[in-house]
Each structure stands twice: as structure tokens, then as C-alpha cells.
Amino acid sequence: MTPRERIITAVNHKEPDQVPIDFSGHRSSGIMVQAYKRLRRHLGLPPGQLYVYDFIQQLALVEDDVLNIIGADVVELGHDFYKKEDYWQDWELQDGTPCKIPAFIKVERTKEGNVVYGDEERVICIQKNGCLYFEQTCFPLQNSDDRTFEKLPYYLRQILWCRLGTPPAPAGFDKQGLEIFKTTAKNLRNSTDRAIYATFGGNLVEIGQFCFRIDNFLYLLAADPELIHAYLDKLTELHLENLTNYLNAVGEYIDIIGFGDDLGMQTGPQMSPKMYREFFKPRHEILWKHAKKLCPQVKVSLHSCGGVYPLLGDLIDAGLEIINPVQFTCTDMELHKLKREFGKDITLWGGGCDTREILPNGKPADIRQHVKENVEITSPGGGFVFQQVHNIMSDVPSRNIMAMFKAVHE
């Protein structure tokens, strides 16, 4: 099987010739730039330019030579942008390591750390000195009395997750941007036999948390439901328009469309199933079923961290086909339980290796055993794509990374 055939077979709930692997196929299956630098050295590869394609999380764009060694079966839509030198500008990590970042990102070094400005010269995020990530500092609706949300596109531009996109950003949903998306997707389709994962976003819960600040947003679900319904209606309307334009541009060239919404915590969902059904399920259903209507062959994926077991039935009912990253260390997220109850209805894209304790701290032999046990639970009958639980952090030893992937191939 080709890598693409392997992925498609698995998400159609059939067993492929071997377990399909995702490594850096989207923004939650990648590797931080520090760990990637060491991994290339560990594999005996040239140092490379270190393309930091996700500036917020400091994720490296993993080049084909590494993907070939690991045996990755999927790439993100903007994967080939590391080959476009004019897309990048020179930058340095805080430890002085030279690297490349997207040229459209305007970052400034200050006494407190690296900052990015939004409109009106307002700091929207900061990487404080000694920190590995950028933190959100601007919550545009935190103290607002706006109840119409007519300025929603403006608010979104002040949010780091919306403003600092990954390649081909800053291409947007206007005519020029959509042409860039289309050309990018078409060229990638013609140059790779890996499956193509197109990260659309379409976040509802998270965009609310980014706009109002998480504590305010969760409070308002109960305290002012009329306000939140008005907000979500406007946001869904915007997402639906962008989704239509996006899939009309790239739909024929992609295999998976990725949505995002971190619904879970370590102990369970962020909201009750009742609240999910009132506020979010109807709107998820609108977006996901519209995607299937436009592109029936494309699989609908949701990235959601945390313990989402109580919501899985509703997510499937709303049209979800793939759940990621399967954080099996959370309450009620045991792999055998998920496979038994939902394995015929949804693909478990993840759950391959614990990235919080086992991958950074375990010995290679322990990692090998851990991975083999997880794969034996999740892979029978298809409906499983191997991925570690979320991105590989900066401190993970290269020998542990390779022990993980070797165990999958075994």
C-alpha cells in the first residue's frame, strides 16, 4: 500500500498492510524545534535550516528525509513550504540557535521577551524570557459590552491563534488567498503519495475562550446563555462561509479536514454533556455535515485534548469520523474501553504513546513495551492511526522518539 492508501484504509475501519503513522501531519502531532534539532543529529542527517512553522508552539516543519526514516504516512497541507526560501526570514531561538520563521510574522525583542503586536500596536502574545512558547495576552471581548458581534472578524485578528497561522498563512479566505490554498494543495497532491491533512480549525469552544478569556467564557455559558448563543451564531456563520470557500479550493486534493476544539480536561469535559448539546453540538453538526456534503470523500477530524468520553456519542452523532489525540491518561479514556464502545464508529487517531511521562522519562525498552500494548488494543479491525499523544516536547531524548516509532513498525 502507498501511505495514502494505508491512511484511507484505516479510517474506513479496515486493517491496512501495517499500522499507519502520523508524525507532524498536523499542529498536534509534531515536534518542538529543540527536539527536532537533536533528532536530526541522532539520525546522522545534516543539521538543516530548522523551519519553525508553528511559531506559537515552536514546532519544526519536519522534512522529508526524517519522514522517510520514520515511515510517516500523512503530511499537512503546507508541508512543502520548507522548500520555498522566500517564505522565511532568519530568527534565533532564545538559546541563540539560528532558525527560520515565516516572513509575515513581525516579532520584536523586548526586555520581557519576544512580543507580537496586533492592531493599534497592542501586544497580542509574548514569549517571556526563559519560556518555550508564546502566551496569549489579548482577549478582545474580556471587558466588552458588545452583544451583536458585528466586529467579530476584527476581534479574531487580535488573537494569536488566528493571526499567526501556519503555511500557507497569511493566505486567507479572500480570492487571492484561496488561489494560494488551491495551488498549494494541488502541487502537494501531485508531489507526494502521503495522505494530506488540511487543518481548517472551525473552533467554537476555544475561540470563545480566546475572545472572552477561558474563565469568563465558561462562566457566561451559565450566566448569560443568550449572549453566548448570539456570539456562537455569528461565529458559526463566519466559519461556514470560510469552510465553503476553503473546501471549494482544496477539497479535491485532501484526505482529512481538521477541526479543533479542546473540549476536555484531565478529569473529563470542560462542560456537562447537557451544555455541550445546547451550545456546541448543533453548530458542530452544521459545520461537519456541511463539509461532508461538499466533499463526501474527505474525513472529518476533531482535535480535542482531555477526557471527552462522555461526549463521544454526541460527537459521533454530530458527524465526527476521527478523534485526536486520544489522551488515554485522562478519566474514562482507557484505550480498551474506547475501542470496545466506539471503535466501529470513529477512528482513534492517536493514543499511541503517552507524552507526559513515558516518552520523556521512560527507557527505550519501557517505551517499546508501552507502544506495543497500545497498538495491540487499538489497531485490530482498522480505525486507528498511530500518533503520540500530542506534540513531542523539547526535552524528549531522540533515542526515545526512535524507540517509539521502531516499536510501531515491529
| Distances, alpha carbon 113 to alpha carbons 93, 108, 109, 137, 256, in Å | 11, 8, 6, 13, 37
Residue 325: all three cell numbers together: 489525540
- What CATH topology corresponds to 3-86+165-409? TIM Barrel (3.20.20)
Q: What is the mean pLDDT of the chain?
A: 97
pLDDT < 70 positions in the chain? none
Pairing type for strands 256-260 and 299-303 reads: parallel
Query: Which residues of 80-227 form beta strands (DSSP E)?
Result: 88-92, 98-102, 107-109, 113-117, 123-128, 135-136, 195-201
Q: What is the pLDDT of residue 48?
A: 86
pTM: 0.97
- The pLDDT tens digits for 78-124 are 999 999 999 999 999 988 999 999 999 999 999 999 999 999 889 99
Q: Which tens digit of pLDDT belongs to each residue from 274-302?
A: 999 999 999 999 999 999 999 999 999 99
Give residue limits of the domains in the chain: 3-86+165-409
Percent of the chain with pLDDT over 90: 99
pLDDT in tens, 229-252: 999 999 999 999 999 999 999 999
All three cell numbers of 179:
488561489
pLDDT of residue 248: 98
